[in-house]
Structure formats: C-alpha cells, structure tokens
Amino acid sequence: MNKFVNLIAFIMALSTPLAFAADGDTGVKVDATVKPAATPVYKAKSPKLNRAQFDQLLAKPDQLVIIDLRRPDELTKIGGFAVYLSIQSKELEKSLAFIPKDRTIVTVSNHAGRAGAGADLLASKGFKVAGAVGVEDYEAEGGTLTKITPPAPKVADASKPAAEASH
C-alpha cells in the first residue's frame, strides 16, 4: 500500500506542470466565473455631467461654484479642478449657509457617486444645481486635472533653540 501512495504522489507531481501549461504560459489558472468589478451605477436624480458639459459651465466662472466633496487625501492623490469649495460629503448639510445661492453649482467626487448624492441634497434645499461630475471620469474623457502637492513638513532648525525656531 505504501508503494501505491508513493506512486500516486509521483504521478501527481509530474502532472501538475502539465495542468498549468494547459492554461497558457502564465502558470496561473483563470477562473472564468469571476467577472471584473463593474463601474457603480449612477443613482442620483441630478444629471451626471460629461467633460463637454462641464467644460461649457467652466467657460462662465462668474456664474459657477464647484463643490468638491472628496477627502483631502483624494484631492492630493488624484487631483481636481483649479478652483473649488472643499466640503466633505458628510459635512455638506451643515455647510449650506456658506454656499452661494445665486450661482450654478456642480458637485465633484471621483466617479460622481457622492457628487450625485450631494447635488440631489443641494437641489432639494433650493440651490441651482447643474449636476455632478467625477474627476476620474473627466480625466478619462481627456480633461486636465490640477495636481495638488501638499507642502513638505517643516524641519526645525537645529542651530536655534526650540523657542526661537517657532518664531
């Protein structure tokens, strides 16, 4: 029986490379039942703006307010638009008093999901909302984003006492 187990183990060891070779040169088995992640479905009532629509609004900056609803780390990692009001999505309702009602508003997030929800909230509060835009979608359509580089941390001057260095 021990010889039989050794024989099976030997056969399996020899056949394993053949099983991987059948899938191609990568050596990785591909599971055909796994599908790539789909882009989230846009669910907001406010329109999702494409690059051309948003560029048309940008042509009249005196009539527009851009509200970016993303976190600061998303702004620095991905980039955004040159001028915007930064209000994180969870703080939007608390910040309504700071948003002008005499201008058209476009809300911004990475793929317009949060921006759409924010646009719907603002529209329900009486703001004039043109729609929502996703910066990554805008860039994929050929639009240019402004990359934001955070300032380097200040390094204390070792030659000065701590009290002097802070002045």
Average pLDDT, the chain: 81
Of 2-6, 7-11, 73-77, the poorest mean pLDDT is in: 7-11
Q: How far is it, in rounded angstroms, from Cα 148 to Cα 151?
A: 9
161 pLDDT band, cuts 50/70/90, is low
Give the tens place of pLDDT for each residue, 117-156.
999 999 999 999 999 999 999 999 999 999 878 788 888 7
pTM above 0.85? no
Percent of the chain with pLDDT over 70: 70
Listed by start position, the domains of the chain span 51-140
Residue 1 has pLDDT above 60, yes or no: no
Helix (H, G, I), strand (E, B) or coil at 76: helix
Tens of pLDDT, residue by residue over 45-68, are 999 999 999 999 999 999 999 999
Q: Does domain 51-140 have CATH number 3.30.300.30?
A: no
Compute the radius of gyration of the chain from its Cα atoms: 27
Alpha-carbon distance of 54 to 134, in angstroms, equals 10
Separation CA 139–CA 136 (nearest Å)? 5
Lowest mean pLDDT among 33-37, 57-61, 97-101, 120-124: 33-37
| Mean per-residue pLDDT, 99-126 | 97
